[in-house]
Structure 1
């Protein structure tokens, strides 16, 4: 049972009791809903709009296999219509219905607040073709828009949420907990198919009364929530706010480290403001409007963090437990929370304030290193730029960046060395089909790979020089400014170079495979030419035909050339074999088929197209026969 009543979707083999099919006054299916209490159903506002205020809630997962139909109406003012700002970003679209007759309490389900990043989910909706209900699978890939909505990518093209699915519950595949509600499914002009959901935090932000039917802790530590005092003019550190907003809007940096000292009212206020604006549940409604009057670039994306915790006075174990709870890692409570976090498949965007004020800061850093290695993004705030902060920079920024760069250097060396060597070896053997563009494009890519490798090696040299000089003052200044990502030196962009390496390695792999196919085809043609030569020798019985000999010599020369133009050689071999086959037609022979067991080499030991006659290579010593 879910906490507080209602069962999660613990089995995908049966229809969930909380799934509701909603019909309008015309009897048509308007959408879906979620039974949150015996007499309350959550759905989309646009589903209510379609029903002409006369709705029937049908419970397709009832225990007695019947489908009870209960009249429903809007529950007072619990209605937040979908609105779109000037950029077309949607917001709202949630509503609560009241049933005329209650349903069994055990049929209801509570919403669960969980992080949504990279989470596999299922939805139970009522599309027209399956109006009895069907599961759809998807993966949550990230937030979108200003309202904290989450984009879902269908597991297969046919699993896009379609009309009849709006308002459906979104259940976490691992835990069965209902973590949100389907809003809509869309297909863009390029054929890309998407589904969007509103997670539990966003729903509660729109309808605070649903807090009582929601489990899971808030993603925002109360000590980090912005207050009315934070809006005092002059308390906004605009450059700091812009850096925070950039990270919370996913500027591409995995880890950001900042120093906010006690007593620095502007930076403390700016930090609380950014964290609150990025929280789905706590952000003020006006912040989702493009007309929000705060300075440009200082308003982060809603949903920019999954969890923001205050580490002051807390142990690493308590922080790990909080993270595990937010990620839904409670299936093995006997395991230490750090082990559960380490084994987790998912990731999250985590904010930790006061890292150096935790009970055991080194252990907290070890926990954060585990999260970073698993793909999570980290915004870490220290109160001083002391040893703990410097260790964090080394452990979470400098060392991983250098290790990443070392892996990239090794990969680029492999690409520009052995793989490029294999390519040139293949090119010396066969001619690619589009030789001019083939060579030009690959040469350009390999030149770029060589340049990237040289740039990364120069960054290595700069780092070694910096280490020798022990530039600690530069480190402190960087920390005071809130640092940014410590990458592989100026000018060396690992993200760009990794994309380059992926592209070049992929193109090299495709090119090598193409050249290998051509080389294999060349070898097949060589064998075919030899077998037909043996067949011709048998048919001519010592006679000579200069014309067919010329065809053979041309094909042989083309196949022996390096590099070999396989298409031209294939045409020459085809011309020769057609001529040889013509001998069979002219003389009443049926080619291969009238020689049982003869596969082009015959049943004569040693005859491989050259025979057992020394010096005969198809056109050498012709005593007694010829080619």
Structure 2
């Protein structure tokens, strides 16, 4: 089948081989899929809503010689979870597998990756109407929505709301290049606001456990913190469960400290229950059914925490590495864990159990203070109400160090004022594909500045009440990216000046040494094209550079031919 549109050979981001275009028998594109194994394609149940129909899976990223490989496929009846609305009115499910009649090469497949999804910048690749060859959409992960563990995405720009044909797209983390979930659907509300939703890897594998071998990364909950069959039969501490659920849902406090003695079986089981129910992967249908009759205020939502780690017997470095891997930060392992966490910029909701039973509890507390300073939310569980617990309360709850937002404000003012003006001037003069991202970055800068000045809610892509560390990181990131774009535009502007200089010099040669040759008319046409490109605003400098090079070559060839033929020099 011939390619009908797609990503240019010259683009910086190629069509991923794992992105599958799915057609119905009538040829209509019904959605997108993810090639997870040579014979299995993950997609949304509503993309393959006719479970008994035949579909065609097309591998646009594997196109060769203008031909797109296509394979017939059918729904795997044992791996089909239709979308539905639960008792709370929240969406759930909507995942399915297609089985290919013929396998694809293993190198075209990808895997899902477990990673803390909140606040990450992501991209999806889908096949909406008018873009049959596929197109990238950018978004920022906002956070969990509903009890199923689905996640809301905010498009980077209003025009990037995924439309029909994109359902089933792989959601790729920009920083790591890993596929961390699948796009489910997009909606627009009555005010015209666009929203998209995804299922993270953990939610997908909960619905389709047969995909466990295609998911990489450690689970978000350590084994010793998971509910057991014995816990299920245990009466739980309702008041403690209420407090845990309220904090996990974000009651506005950054740190919660609890004491759970090892011999307090009821309280210990209640803690494991909350941790398990707040995890996307562990909150199975059985666990949901089991708590369905429990007081709603004791039941957290799936995805209310990002990681639950048991610190018992572990060093602070080991705990830190566990957190960094959940953040998706693996680079520079030689650097101290504290520095890597400080530089990571991710903001998670973390549960750390057994703080006072770690290998070096005071050292672990210092790591936890670094996590707090970086904007993370912390549920810290101690086994004894001892000196370290009281110190943690004093330093993290009662008297946290004040952190003014002055540095972030100053940097954001620089971004939105002088840097924005400089970018505006450069963008008016020269054209660059990097310029497309400027508006989105500036909008984020304005929103972050407004959030700081308001002093309450954080910017839309962040959790509420994040303080200085998070704002400062965002300000530094935006300033860095926009400064990089400005540097690119400056280099293009300098090249434009250089091209104008070359053009003037060769126009003199044209007038004095090549004028009157038989090439004169052709030279004028080439000169006019180069001048037109150079004078355009904004100028496509690369196109102008090619046109100037063509003119220079033409002038030099005309002069050489004139000398060989004895043509007059004037």
Please state which band the TM-score falls in when normalised by the shorter chain. Answer: 0.5 to 0.7
Matched with 2:206 is 205
Spell out, residue by residue over 1:116-167, the C-alpha distance to the aligned partner (whole angstroms, 9 max, x if none). 1110000001111211100000000110011010100000001011100100
- Deviation for aligned residue 1:52: 5.7
Shift of 1:189: 1.0
1:243 is aligned to 243
Structure 2 contact 59–69 (Cα < 8 Å) conserved: yes
1:270 aligns with 2:267: no
2:349 & 2:49 partners in 1: Cα distance? 36
- 1:79, 1:96 within 8 Å by CA — same for their partners in 2? yes
Moved more, 188-197 or 165-174: 188-197
Offset of residue 341 of structure 1: 1.2
Distance 2:63 2:317 in 1: 42
Cα deviation code 1:488-539 (max 9, x no counterpart): xxxxxx979x9xxxxxxxxxxxxxxxxxxxxxxxxxxxxxxxxxxxxxxxxx
* Counterpart position of 1:130: 131
1:75 has 2:76 as partner:
yes
* Aligned twin of 1:45: 45
Label 1:51 to 1:162 Cα distance change in 2 as closer, same or farther (>3 A). Answer: farther
Q: State the 1:335 CA deviation.
A: 2.4
- The within-5 A match list for 1:123-522 is 123-233=124-234, 235-288=235-288, 292-400=292-400, 403=402
Runs of 4+ in 1 over 6 A off after TM superposition: none
Q: Match for residue 547 of structure 1? A: none
TM-score (norm 1): 0.62
Q: Assess if the C-alpha contact under 8 Å between 1:30 and 1:51 holds in 2.
A: no
Instruction: Please state how far the C-alpha of 1:316 moved relative to its aligned partner.
Output: 0.5
Match of 1:555?
Answer: none
CA spacing shift, 1:201–1:135, aligned 2, 3 Å: same
State the distance in 1 between where 2:365 and 2:14 align.
44
1:93 maps to 2:94: yes
Q: Report the 3-state secondary structure (helix = DSSP H, G, I; strand = E; otherwise coil) of the residue aligned with 2:399.
A: helix
* Higher Cα Rg, which structure: 1
**TM-aligned CA deviation for residue 284 of structure 1:** 2.5
Cα 1:291–1:307, aligned 2, differ >3 Å: closer, same or farther?
Answer: closer
CA distance in 2, matches of 1:38, 1:303: 31
Give CA deviations for 1:548-569 in whole Å, capped at 9, x if unaligned.
Answer: xxxxxxxxxxxxxxxxxxxxxx
1:551-562 equivalence runs, <5 A? none
Q: Is the 8 A contact 2:51 2:77 kept in 1?
A: no
Alpha-carbon distance, 1:75 to partner: 2.0
Q: Note if contact 2:52-2:74 (Cα within 8 Å) is conserved in structure 1.
A: no
CA 1:24/1:119 → structure 2, altered by over 3 Å: closer, same or farther?
A: same
Aligned to 1:61: 61
Unaligned runs of at least 5 residues, structure 2: 1-10, 410-463, 469-570
> Structure 2 vs 1, CA of residues 115 and 285 (structure 1 numbering), >3 Å: closer, same or farther?
same
C-alpha contact 1:85 1:290 (8 A) present in aligned 2: no
Secondary structure at the aligned position of 1:49 is classed as coil
Provide the C-alpha distance between the structure 1 equivalents of 2:86 and 2:370, rounded to a whole number of angstroms: 40
Could you give the per-residue CA deviations for residues 19-57 of structure 1, whole angstroms, max 9, x where no partner exists?
A: 000001111011000000111110011111057621110
CA contact (8 A) 2:52 2:75 kept: no
CA deviations over 1:1-33 (Å, ceiling 9, x no partner)? xxxxxxxxxx95101010000001111011000
| C-alpha deviation, 1:392, in angstroms | 1.2
Mapped partners of 2:12, 2:292: distance in 1: 43
Secondary structure of 1:22's partner? strand
Distance 1:304 1:165 in 2: 27
Q: How many residues align?
A: 402
Q: 1 CA distance for matches of 2:192 and 2:291?
A: 32
Q: 1:564-575 to 2 correspondence within 5 Å?
A: none
Answer whether contact 1:120 1:137 (CA < 8 A) is retained.
yes
CA contact (8 A) 1:25 1:52 kept: no
- Contact 1:85–1:289 (8 Å) recurs in 2: no
SS of residue matched to 2:396: helix
CA contact (8 A) 1:24 1:51 kept: no
**Could you say which residue in structure 2 is the equivalent of 1:110?**
111
Tell whether the 8 Å contact from 2:76 to 2:97 is kept in structure 1 after alignment.
yes
Partner Cα separation in structure 2 for residue 326 and residue 128 of structure 1: 36
Structure 2 length normalisation: TM-score?
0.68
Cα distance in 2, alignment partners of residues 263 and 229 from structure 1: 15
Question: Cα offset for 1:76?
Answer: 3.3
2:35 aligned partner: 35
Q: In structure 2, do the counterparts of structure 1 residues 377 and 197 end up closer, same or farther at CA, with 3 Å as the change threshold?
A: same
How far 1:253 moved relative to its partner? Answer: 1.4
Is 1:25 aligned with 2:29? no
* Alignment CA distance shift 1:287-1:90 (3 Å): farther
- Aligned residues of 2:291 and 2:299 also touching (Cα < 8 A): no
C-alpha change, 1:178 and 1:407, in structure 2 (3 Å) is closer
Matches within 5 A, 1:588-607: none
| Post-superposition offset of 1:398 | 2.0
Deviation sequence 1:376-409 (CA, Å, 0-9, x none): 1111100011111112112222222x626x889x
Aligned-residue offset at 1:96: 1.0
Distance in 1 separating the partners of 2:337 and 2:36: 30
The farther-off stretch of 216-225 and 73-82 is 73-82
Within 5 A, what are the aligned runs for 1:572-583? Answer: none
Q: 1:88: Cα distance to partner?
A: 2.2
